[in-house]
Structure formats: C-alpha cells, structure tokens
Amino acid sequence: MLLKRRTIEEKDEEKAFEELFRKNYSRAFYYALDWVGDEETAKDVVGDCFGEIWRQYERLAGMELEAYLFRMVKNRCLNVLKHQAVEAGYRDEAMLKMELIEEEGDWHEEMLEKVEAAVEALNPQTRRVLDLCYFQGKKYVEAAEELGISANTVHKHISKAMAFLRESLFNKKC
C-alpha cells in the first residue's frame, strides 16, 4: 500500500512540475533573455533553473514556485553577467598584451634594421673592430693582434663606433 501511495505522490509531483514548466517556461525564457541578451544563454539559464527545481522538488513543496523560479532565473542571469564581465576583462587584458607584444616585436625589428644600417655605415676598419670585439666576443688585445694594430687603437675604434651608433639610433649628440 505504501508503494502505491508513493507512486501516486510521484505522479502528482511530475504533473505539478509539468504544469509549472508549461505555464512558465516561455515567460522565464523571455525574462532571462531580457537580462542576458542571448537566446542560447537564456535557454541554458532557464533549463538549469527548472532542473534545480526538479532536483529539490520535495524540499520546495508548499512554496510559491513561480516566484521562486523567477527569483532563481534573475540570480542565475546576474551570475552569468558577472562571469561574462570577468571573462571580458581577461580577454581585453590578453588582447592588450598581444598588441603590446606585436608592437614591441615591430619595434625590435625596426631597431635591428637601424642597427644593421648604422653598422654598415661605419668605415670598414671600425666595422671590423666592432665585429671582432662585440659580435665575436674577442678582447681588445686579441682584436689588436689579429688586425695588426695596438689595443689603444682598437679602443678608439670602439669608442668611435659606439658614439656613431648612439647618434644614429637615438639621435643623440655625444
């Protein structure tokens, strides 16, 4: 007998829930749509709310379910909007970083081109000294021996090259 009563109560609950669903789905959907502005998101919100009501139906028995449903829809919509705002913030921050990286990359490319042009503009001996000391990592004495000049002359070539590069790259007079 207890089994039959439980089955009857479950069927009554299902019918009551179906009635709540039929009566309120469209209104809840358009209410959510007003909040979130996207049909798919509104459908998800309303579907989640009805699912939650169904899961808690026994606990909610005796409550004004329509009011509870619409309060739940509003709260879920607000949570969705907060989440979207956070996502948008992260997306905007990521886009800004990407733009800065691209700009920085462009700046580096331009600077490399300027450096290459400035190095090419040096007289051949100074360019050779710069290559040996800065690009090949040799000490002034080693470069001097290889070129058959004094270490002091290497130092003068490097000073001259650095002054020229500063002026060429940064328009600074030395």
* CA-closest candidate to residue 164, choices 134, 133, 120, 132: 120
Tokens representing 109?
Answer: 């490319």
Pick among 1.10.1060.10, 1.10.10.10, 1.10.1760.20, 3.40.50.2300: CATH of 122-170:
1.10.10.10
Buried b (16+ CB within 10 A) or exposed e, 65-91: beebbbebbbebbeebeeeeeeeeeee
* Per-residue pLDDT, 172: 56
* Per-residue pLDDT, 1: 39
pLDDT tens, per residue, the chain with 174 residues: 333 444 545 667 888 889 999 999 999 999 999 999 999 999 999 999 999 999 988 888 778 899 999 999 999 999 999 998 888 877 777 777 777 766 676 677 777 888 888 888 889 999 898 888 888 888 888 889 999 999 899 889 888 888 888 888 777 554
- The string of DSSP codes covering 120-145 is HHS-HHHHHHHIIIIIS---HHHHHH
- Asked if 45 and 76 count as a contact pair (C-beta separation under 8 A), the reply is yes
* Per-residue pLDDT, 71: 96
Q: Rounded to an integer, what is the distance from CA 101 to the centroid of its chain?
A: 13
How many angstroms separate the CA atoms of 129 and 161, rounded? 9
Domain 2-93 is in which class?
Answer: mainly alpha
pTM of the predicted model, to two decimals?
0.51
* Per-residue pLDDT, 23: 95
